[in-house]
């Protein structure tokens, strides 16, 4: 694998934990703000990507389990953007989830994570956003059912689930580990997808980075310690995945692809390595093996695998590292919730191109070719090869996903 | 009515291999580049995924990715005394269509022409005395040494798999000892050979020949090219030529260049846009741009500082004739240049039928083969033979696609029970030793505009007047027996020889290696382009492709086509842009 | 956290979006401009076999054509022929579709006979050539044998087909040889093409010659060294072994 060192314009802009260290930052506040904005992946939600929207001008329709929310305009337009906001307002938004008029922001905005950022950091982000060209946009009404359409209901949610936290350094851990934890739980807001949610959309502490289901995707378990979803990844793998968009084990695809494309590929190596250090420290409990499926299903699944999948993933499922995912250890394939693999087999997937690896290797859709039962049998076989017993997948689960995708695309 | 569009630096007519090569280099140099492609967008997951790419009826027999003759075809006749008739469907060759062009559905056999091939006229005349008057061959004007860095770069872009035979002058064991000196090894080791190649290699060695692995654009291992693009290992599925590769294992514009290009803001591609003509300035010294038509039938004028013809050779020639650039070739007087020296390839072979052993042709790949080069180019003494040039002899295992490949021994009828049973008995038990013969230009083989037949836009079709020449016949008669001898040494039950006899037949598939028509050279009286592939007539018009070959060599053309493109684009960037004008004084 | 809706037309920016919106007057699709390679889930060009329900032949034409196919690739003790492979269904669908209509072929006049090296020069697209030639074939047979082609003995049928192949039998309006060459080619296509097109039913022809079909990975078999490889054939729509419920 070719490893190109990216020339980064953000020298010195990486995260510093102590206020004292912050003084040593050589770059301007705007540059630091831009770096933080990238780390927070703000552009992804605040740009109407589907309609070639102007970056940061908002308007992207965001589907939440409770309805559609349109992202806001972050450019300094007086009428429709942040033109009249103060640094204080902005700090309150990121730190407490309150806008300039004191209204509660919907937690689609990941302020429960951003609250870990310091005032100095939110000021830098604000300075960067204020340096953008103001864009006037047409504001769109959110499409939420009662009582969620009343912003006051958010205050109840916050009372239950939101802590206005400061980041607390764990003195027993290395500086790198602390930096990693700050990044993961703060600006990178990994748990927003990778942690399980309760019925009201708040992350559950005991599901922390053990994988989460959102909008028919399962964002896999990313704990890197013993029994974790990426226990078999080393720190270099995590770094390569976030920086280059390719690792030995897999590549970021649709949703995570967006995060890598917009955010992590531009982050500094030391920050990404800190993330890797932290994730590698998270052990998990071992999973109880599930019941062994029927032999007929395993046999059919094996045949389907050999005839369809081996051309890329190899007959022994070892794949081609960095190109086609090895399947034996995949945290998506072996997840408790198989939504993501069902979805990928039905609809296909595309490895995210990055500046370092511009290839766009794609897996084709199989929806037209394989039946629900065939896909279920294939997955059942793959989840139960070797000593793995990750459980069977039902044809009904495939049928539901097929229906969902048919509607979406 | 024609709509005028904003001017670009460079407009490329056609977006296959050469279009992609030009676009990548020119955009990297900061130019605003627009490619106009007649066919549609094509890419792996959508158009030739592993889930459906291996469909013989669709892609070969129903021409899934080829140009449709209903859009445009050529008329054909063997000689000037006949009336040319349109090729109503393709046969002997299969021009591509759409993004990637024929680069999507090629086999991937990626040779370099020999140093002597580029100076065929002077070299042969010096060694053997004056050539026949009707043999209108000439030197390219550019030498192997000048092209070497560009061959090397293209091999790295494609990740060509092979064994070097001549590394900076040192002959290497296991490679082709006749090849020109290489500055570097192949970027990847050769493919893993199968039974048929093993037998060929042993038989050839027994005869004192030097077999070497065919340079292959089907990957022997995972590879990342200099642009950061990924090529996956070939899975020997047996669906290369006439098919797109579903698992990123064959070099194509899509796998090796286009993804990078598509991320550059100064590159634009317009598909479904067919260029009708190159427009000229009033004084006739410059091209001003091109006129094209889109699928709605609307016409557009696209102005550009530089125009490059990157379509298939037959279409490049036609466009120059339709645009009245350069003097059309006249076979009566031998004067004129556009359409001159149309050449092809003289293919023959010997099929081996085995009794016990299985060749299992379905375990194959487009460039999976071993070859010998003792009888190519001027690698052997032609004194007294009455011909020049030659061809490589190779044993490929490309496929066992049954509609196409079901050989039966001589004497078996073409249908009925006996035929059917023979098809079954021999289906997985044959292999072929082929001769890939050169084609020397002849005064009477040429391209011009047809006086009768027109395309859907009312423009004349291109007319091809072509037959095998005396040189071709002597060449194939001399070399085919060598192939037969190798074949007989491979241990089969019987060998059937398919000689190249009679007139050229436009229908049975032979090869998509049509060359000439826009030939390059040192003299504007005898060539369309100078040594930089620049039109002698319009200094801002450049031409790419095998149409530049003054005559065809005994190899597959893609390596040389690509090297010429890289050579030209370097001249445009390094010389032309600084001082636009003719790069060679006539 | 939440996700963007995908209900709108996809444009995906850094994600390698789809084609850019073209300026209103321009119909050719526009790509590039830094937008990356277009890609969308669920999208592709799976095989077109939309003529599945269509047919072209009349009952009589279909019967005669089936008989011709059965003589070209006979059923015998060695294995299945055009009949078992249902080549006639393949032909019927092909003739009803773009191929039969000659839709992708250059079919502009003037039409002339042409030399042997100039290929197909009939003014009729394939389906029409079948129609005219089948009628002439039956006329020819009735004139000489008092029965239509399908009513003759296999030996007589073979003899007539041989006569067409060797240009000893000619028709009035169309070329018997052109028809023979075409139907032989189409019959071989139907026998060996993927079963989705109607012929090669249950992959009988692939099983007969032991072609493993649409498999896409033989890396494990490259070093077969002349040994037989036994793999059940797979069609584009699979093989019986893919179904656990049966």
| Residue B313 pLDDT greater than 90, yes or no | yes
In chain B, the N- to C-terminal Cα span, in Å, equals 38
Q: Would you call A405 and C42 a contact, using CB atoms and an 8 Å cutoff?
A: yes
Question: Which residue of chain B has the CA closest to A366?
Answer: B51
Q: Would you call C184 and B415 a contact, using CB atoms and an 8 Å cutoff?
A: yes
Contact A81, A129 (CB under 8 A): no
pTM of the model: 0.93
In a domain, C57, yes or no: yes
Mean pLDDT of chain C: 88
Burial class (CB in 10 A: 0-12, 13-18, 19+), B172: middle
Residues of B with CB below 8 A from A369's CB?
Answer: 51-52
- Name residues 411-450 of chain B within 8 A of A (Cβ): none
pLDDT at C13: 31
- Pair C58, C113 in one domain: yes
In a domain, C172, yes or no: yes
- Pair C112, C191 in one domain: yes
CA–CA separation, C69 and B422 (whole Å)? 18
CA–CA separation, A325 and A312 (whole Å)? 9
In a domain, C245, yes or no: no
pLDDT at C50: 55
Q: Which of B499, B468, B214 is nearest to B349 (CA)?
A: B499
> How big, in percent rounded to 5, are the helix, strand and coil portions of chain C?
40, 5, 55
Question: Which of B123, B382, B436, B513 is an active site residue?
Answer: B513
Residues of B with CB below 8 A from A362's CB?
Answer: 44-45
Q: Which of B344, B347, B391 is nearest to B514 (CA)?
A: B344
pLDDT in tens, B400-441: 999 999 999 999 999 999 999 999 999 999 999 999 999 999
Q: Which CATH class is domain A175-280?
A: mainly alpha
Please tell me which of the candidates B44, B49, B228 has its beta carbon nearest to residue A357.
B228
The neighbours of chain C, by the rule of 3 or more Cβ pairs under 8 Å, are A, B
CA–CA separation, B301 and B8 (whole Å)? 12
Residues of B with CB below 8 A from C209's CB?
Answer: 402, 406, 423-424, 427-428
CA–CA separation, B109 and B557 (whole Å)? 9
Two domains, one topology: A175-280 and A295-408? yes
- Pair C38, C58 in one domain: no
Please tell me which of the candidates B49, B230, B235 has its beta carbon nearest to residue A359.
B230
Question: Which residue of chain B has the CA closest to C107?
Answer: B88
The 10 Å Cβ neighbour count of residue C154 is 11
Question: Residue B227: left (phi > 0), alpha (psi -120 to 50), or beta?
Answer: alpha
pLDDT in tens, B94-115: 999 999 999 999 999 999 999 9
Residues of chain A with pLDDT under 70: 1-27, 65, 144-164, 198-201
Quote the Cα angle for A59-A64-A67, to 5°: 80
With a CB cutoff of 8 Å and minimum separation 6, the contacts of A20 are none
Element (H, E) at A268: none
Query: How many domains are there within chain B?
Result: 1
The verdict on whether residue A313 carries a ligand-binding annotation is yes
* Confidence category of residue C19, pLDDT binned at 50, 70, 90: very low
Q: Would you call B259 and A369 a contact, using CB atoms and an 8 Å cutoff?
A: no
Q: Would you call A311 and B50 a contact, using CB atoms and an 8 Å cutoff?
A: yes
Contact A362, B45 (CB under 8 A): yes
Q: Would you call A377 and C244 a contact, using CB atoms and an 8 Å cutoff?
A: yes
Range of the domain at B496: 2-576
Q: Which ranges of B337-469 would DSSP assign to H, the alpha helix? A: 417-426
Element (H, E) at B464: strand B460-465
B-C contacts (CB, under 8 Å): 258
CA–CA separation, A310 and A304 (whole Å)? 9
Q: Which of A219, A234, A248 is nearest to A327 (CA)?
A: A248
CA–CA separation, B117 and B549 (whole Å)? 10
Please tell me which of the candidates B40, B54, B76 has its beta carbon nearest to residue C214.
B54
In a domain, B581, yes or no: no
Cis peptide upstream of residue A89 (ω within 30 degrees of 0):
no
CA–CA separation, B545 and B259 (whole Å)? 22
Task: Confirm whether B382 is a catalytic residue.
Answer: no
A-C contacts (CB, under 8 Å): 143
Range of the domain at C58: 51-208
pLDDT at A147: 57
pLDDT at A227: 94
Cis peptide upstream of residue C110 (ω within 30 degrees of 0):
yes
Q: Which of C141, C168, C140 is nearest to C153 (CA)?
A: C141
DSSP state of C219: G
Q: How far does C128 lie from chain B, in Å, by closest CA? A: 15
pLDDT in tens, C139-179: 999 999 999 999 999 999 999 999 999 999 999 999 999 99
Evaluated on CA atoms A142, A144, A149, A154, the torsion sign reads negative
pLDDT at B393: 98
DSSP state of C76: B
* Confidence category of residue C11, pLDDT binned at 50, 70, 90: very low
pLDDT at C26: 46
pLDDT in tens, B315-325: 999 999 999 99
Please tell me which of the candidates B51, B224, B246 has its beta carbon nearest to residue A2.
B224
Contact C183, C68 (CB under 8 A): yes
Mean pLDDT of B334-363: 97
CA–CA separation, B261 and A358 (whole Å)? 10
Q: Would you call B402 and C209 a contact, using CB atoms and an 8 Å cutoff?
A: yes
Q: How far does B244 lie from chain A, in Å, by closest CA? A: 14
| Residue B76 pLDDT greater than 90, yes or no | yes
CA–CA separation, B340 and B326 (whole Å)? 11
Burial class (CB in 10 A: 0-12, 13-18, 19+), B505: middle
The neighbours of chain A, by the rule of 3 or more Cβ pairs under 8 Å, are B, C
Phi, psi of B267 (to 5 degrees): -120, 135
Q: Would you call C35 and B198 a contact, using CB atoms and an 8 Å cutoff?
A: no
Q: Would you call C105 and B69 a contact, using CB atoms and an 8 Å cutoff?
A: yes
* Confidence category of residue B44, pLDDT binned at 50, 70, 90: very high
CA–CA separation, B145 and B474 (whole Å)? 30
Please tell me which of the candidates C44, C120, C227 has its beta carbon nearest to residue B88.
C120
Mean pLDDT of B12-23: 98
Q: What is the DSSP string of A87-129?
A: HHHHHHHHHHSB-TTSPBPPTTS-HHHHTTS-HHHHHHHHHHH
Q: Which of C35, C34, C33, C28 is nearest to C10 (CA)?
A: C35
Q: Which CATH number fits domain A295-408: 3.40.640.10, 1.10.760.10, 1.10.10.10, 2.60.260.20?
A: 1.10.760.10
Q: CA distances (Å), C88 to each of B333, C70, C74, C175, C189, in order?
A: 55, 9, 13, 22, 11
Question: Which residue of chain C has the CA closest to A202?
Answer: C1
With a CB cutoff of 8 Å and minimum separation 6, the contacts of B230 are A322, A323, A357, A359, A361, B222, B223, B224, B248, B255
- Kindly state the percentage of chain B with pLDDT values over 70: 100
Q: Which of B437, B445, B451, B481 is nearest to B465 (CA)?
A: B445
Higher pLDDT, B575 or A102: B575
Contact A66, A201 (CB under 8 A): yes
In a domain, C243, yes or no: no
Q: Would you call B230 and A357 a contact, using CB atoms and an 8 Å cutoff?
A: yes
- Pair C107, C135 in one domain: yes
**Adjacent-strand bridge partners of B76:** B85, B464
CA–CA separation, A75 and A81 (whole Å)? 5
- Name residues 195-224 of chain B within 8 A of A (Cβ): 222, 224
CA–CA separation, B578 and B571 (whole Å)? 10
Q: CA distances (Å), B517 to each of B93, B136, B155, B521, in order?
A: 16, 12, 26, 12
With a CB cutoff of 8 Å and minimum separation 6, the contacts of B219 are B159, B161, B188, B231, B232, B233, B234, B249, B250, B251
Q: Does B247 touch chain A (CB under 8 A)?
A: yes
The verdict on whether residue A193 carries a ligand-binding annotation is yes
CA–CA separation, C157 and C138 (whole Å)? 11
Beta strands in A196-269 (DSSP E): 212-214, 217-219
- Pair C30, C146 in one domain: no
The verdict on whether residue A312 carries a ligand-binding annotation is yes
Residues of C with CB below 8 A from B56's CB?
Answer: 192-194
Q: CA distances (Å), A312 to each of A351, B208, C46, in order?
A: 14, 40, 19
The neighbours of chain B, by the rule of 3 or more Cβ pairs under 8 Å, are A, C
Contact B90, B63 (CB under 8 A): yes
- Pair C114, C203 in one domain: yes
Contact B277, B290 (CB under 8 A): yes
ipTM entry: 0.96
Please tell me which of the candidates B50, B295, B362 has its beta carbon nearest to residue C211.
B362
What CATH number did the domain enclosing B331 receive?
3.50.50.60
Question: Which residue of chain C has the CA closest to A62?
Answer: C4
> Where along chain A do its domains lie?
24-161, 175-280, 295-408
Q: Would you call B416 and C71 a contact, using CB atoms and an 8 Å cutoff?
A: yes
Q: Which ranges of B412-461 would DSSP assign to H, the alpha helix? A: 417-426
Q: What is the DSSP string of B189-238?
A: PPPPP-HHHHHHHHHHHHTT---EEPPBSB-SS-EE-TTS-EEPPP--BS
Q: Would you call B262 and C44 a contact, using CB atoms and an 8 Å cutoff?
A: no
Phi, psi of B421 (to 5 degrees): -70, -35
Range scoring the smallest mean pLDDT among B75-89, B481-495, B556-570, C45-59: C45-59
Residues of A with CB below 8 A from C14's CB?
Answer: 49, 258, 261-262
In a domain, B405, yes or no: yes
């Amino acid at each position: 694998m070719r490893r190109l060192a990216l020339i980064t314009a953000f020298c010195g802009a990486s995260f510093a934990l102590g206020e004292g260290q912050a003084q040593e930052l050589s770059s301007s506040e705007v540059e630091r703000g831009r770096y933080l904005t990238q780390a927070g992946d703000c552009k992804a939600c605040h740009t109407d990507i589907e309609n070639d929207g102007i970056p940061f001008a908002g308007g992207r329709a965001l589907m939440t389990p409770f309805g559609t929310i349109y992202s806001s305009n972050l450019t300094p337009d007086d009428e429709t953007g942040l033109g009249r906001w103060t640094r204080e307002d902005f700090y309150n938004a990121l730190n407490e989830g309150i806008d300039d008029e004191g209204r509660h922001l919907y937690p689609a905005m990941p302020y429960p994570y951003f609250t870990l950022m310091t005032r100095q950091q939110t000021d830098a982000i604000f300075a960067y956003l204020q340096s953008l060209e103001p864009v006037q946009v047409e504001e769109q009404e959110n499409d939420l059912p009662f009582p969620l359409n009343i912003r006051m209901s958010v205050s109840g949610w916050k009372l239950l689930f939101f802590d206005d936290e400061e980041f607390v350094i764990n003195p027993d851990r290395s500086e790198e580990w602390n930096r990693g934890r700050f990044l993961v739980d703060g600006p990178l807001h990994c748990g927003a997808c990778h942690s399980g949610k309760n019925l009201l959309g708040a992350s559950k502490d005991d599901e922390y980075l053990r994988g989460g289901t959102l909008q028919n995707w399962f964002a896999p378990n990313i704990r890197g310690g013993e029994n974790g979803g990426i226990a078999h990844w080393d720190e270099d793998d995590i770094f390569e995945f976030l920086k280059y968009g390719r690792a030995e084990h897999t590549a970021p695809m649709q949703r995570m692809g967006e995060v890598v494309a917009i955010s992590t590929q531009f982050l500094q190596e030391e920050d990404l390595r800190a993330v890797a250090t932290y994730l590698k420290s998270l052990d998990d409990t071992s999973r109880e093996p599930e019941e062994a499926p029927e032999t007929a299903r395993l046999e059919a699944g094996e045949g389907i695998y050999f005839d369809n999948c081996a051309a890329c993933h190899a007959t022994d499922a070892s794949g081609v590292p960095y190109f086609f995912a090895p399947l034996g250890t995949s945290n998506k394939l072996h997840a408790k919730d198989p939504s993501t693999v069902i979805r990928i087999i039905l609809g296909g997937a595309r490895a995210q191109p990055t500046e370092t690896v511009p290839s766009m290797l794609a897996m084709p859709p199989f929806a037209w070719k394989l039946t629900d039962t065939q896909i279920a049998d294939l997955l059942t076989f793959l989840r139960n090869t070797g000593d793995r017993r990750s459980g069977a997948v039902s044809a009904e689960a495939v049928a539901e996903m097929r229906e969902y995708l048919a509607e979406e695309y | 009515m024609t709509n005028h569009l904003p001017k670009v630096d460079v407009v490329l007519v056609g977006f296959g291999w050469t279009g992609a090569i030009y676009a990548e280099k020119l955009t990297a140099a900061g130019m605003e580049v627009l490619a106009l492609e007649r066919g549609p967008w094509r890419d792996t997951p959508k158009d030739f995924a592993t889930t459906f790419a291996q469909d013989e009826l669709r892609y070969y027999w129903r021409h899934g990715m080829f140009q449709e003759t209903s859009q445009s075809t050529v008329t054909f006749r063997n000689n000037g005394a006949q009336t040319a008739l349109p090729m109503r469907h393709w046969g002997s060759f299969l021009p591509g269509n759409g993004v990637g062009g024929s680069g999507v559905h090629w086999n991937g056999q990626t040779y370099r022409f020999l140093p002597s091939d580029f100076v065929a006229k002077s070299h042969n005349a010096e060694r053997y005395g004056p050539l026949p008057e009707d043999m209108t061959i000439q030197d390219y004007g550019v030498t192997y040494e000048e092209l070497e860095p560009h061959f090397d770069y293209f091999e790295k872009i494609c990740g060509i798999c092979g064994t070097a035979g001549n590394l900076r002058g040192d002959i290497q064991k296991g490679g082709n000892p006749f090849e020109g000196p290489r500055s570097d090894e192949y970027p990847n080791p050769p493919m893993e050979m199968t039974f048929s190649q093993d037998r060929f290699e042993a038989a050839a060695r027994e005869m004192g020949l030097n077999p070497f692995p065919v340079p292959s654009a089907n990957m022997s291992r995972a590879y990342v090219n200099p642009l950061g693009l990924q090529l996956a290992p070939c899975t020997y599925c047996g669906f290369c030529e006439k098919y797109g590769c579903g698992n990123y294992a064959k070099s194509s514009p899509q796998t090796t260049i286009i993804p990078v290009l598509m991320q550059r803001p100064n590159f634009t591609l317009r598909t479904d846009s067919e260029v009708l003509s190159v427009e000229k300035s009033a004084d006739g010294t410059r091209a001003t741009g091109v006129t094209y038509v889109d699928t709605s039938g609307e016409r557009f004028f696209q102005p550009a500082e530089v125009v490059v013809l990157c379509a298939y050779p037959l279409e490049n020639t036609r466009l120059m004739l339709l645009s009245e650039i350069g003097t059309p070739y006249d076979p009566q007087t031998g004067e004129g240049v556009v359409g001159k020296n149309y050449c092809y390839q003289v293919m023959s072979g010997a099929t081996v039928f085995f009794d016990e052993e299985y060749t299992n042709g379905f375990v194959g790949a487009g460039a999976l083969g071993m070859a010998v080069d003792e009888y190519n180019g001027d690698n052997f003494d032609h004194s007294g033979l009455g011909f020049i040039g030659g061809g490589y002899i190779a044993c490929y295992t490309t496929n066992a696609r049954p509609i196409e490949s079901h050989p039966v021994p001589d004497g078996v009828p073409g249908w009925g029970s006996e035929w059917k049973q023979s098809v079954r008995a021999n289906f997985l038990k044959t292999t072929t030793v082929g001769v890939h013969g050169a084609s020397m230009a002849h005064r009477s083989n040429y391209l011009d505009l047809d006086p009768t037949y027109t395309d859907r836009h009312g423009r004349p079709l291109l007319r091809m007047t072509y037959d095998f020449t005396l040189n071709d016949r002597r060449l194939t008669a001399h070399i085919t027996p060598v192939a037969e001898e190798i074949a007989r040494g491979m241990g089969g039950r019987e060998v059937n020889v398919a000689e190249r006899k009679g007139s050229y037949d436009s229908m049975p598939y032979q090869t998509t290696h049509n060359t000439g028509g826009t030939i390059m050279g040192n003299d504007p009286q005898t060539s369309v382009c100078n040594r930089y592939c620049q039109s002698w007539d319009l200094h801002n018009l450049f031409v790419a492709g095998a149409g530049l070959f003054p005559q065809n060599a005994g190899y597959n053309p893609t390596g040389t086509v690509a090297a010429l493109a890289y050579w030209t684009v370097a001249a445009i960037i390094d010389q032309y842009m600084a001082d636009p004008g003719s790069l060679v004084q006539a | 956290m939440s996700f963007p809706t995908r209900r709108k037309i996809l444009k995906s920016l850094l994600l390698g979006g789809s084609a850019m919106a073209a300026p209103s007057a321009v119909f050719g699709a526009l790509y590039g401009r830094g937008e990356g390679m277009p890609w969308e889930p669920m999208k592709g060009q799976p095989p077109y076999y939309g003529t599945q329900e269509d047919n072209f032949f009349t009952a009589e034409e279909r019967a005669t054509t089936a008989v011709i196919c059965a003589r070209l690739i006979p059923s015998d003790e060695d294995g299945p022929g055009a009949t078992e492979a249902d080549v006639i269904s393949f032909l019927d669908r092909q003739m009803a579709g773009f191929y039969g209509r000659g839709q992708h072929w250059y079919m502009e006049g003037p039409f002339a006979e042409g030399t042997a090296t100039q290929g197909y020069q009939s003014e009729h697209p394939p389906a029409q050539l079948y129609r005219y030639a089948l009628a002439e074939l039956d006329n020819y047979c009735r004139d000489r044998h008092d029965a239509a082609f399908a009513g003759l003995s296999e030996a007589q049928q073979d003899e007539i087909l041989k006569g067409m192949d060797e240009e000893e039998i000619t028709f009035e309006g169309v070329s018997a040889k052109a028809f023979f060459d075409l139907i032989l080619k189409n019959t071989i296509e139907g026998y060996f093409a993927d079963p989705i097109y109607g012929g090669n039913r249950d992959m009988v022809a692939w099983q007969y010659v032991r072609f493993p079909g649409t498999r896409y990975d033989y890396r494990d078999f490259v070093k077969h060294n002349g040994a037989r490889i036994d793999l059940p054939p797979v069609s584009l729509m699979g093989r019986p072994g893919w179904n656990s419920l049966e």
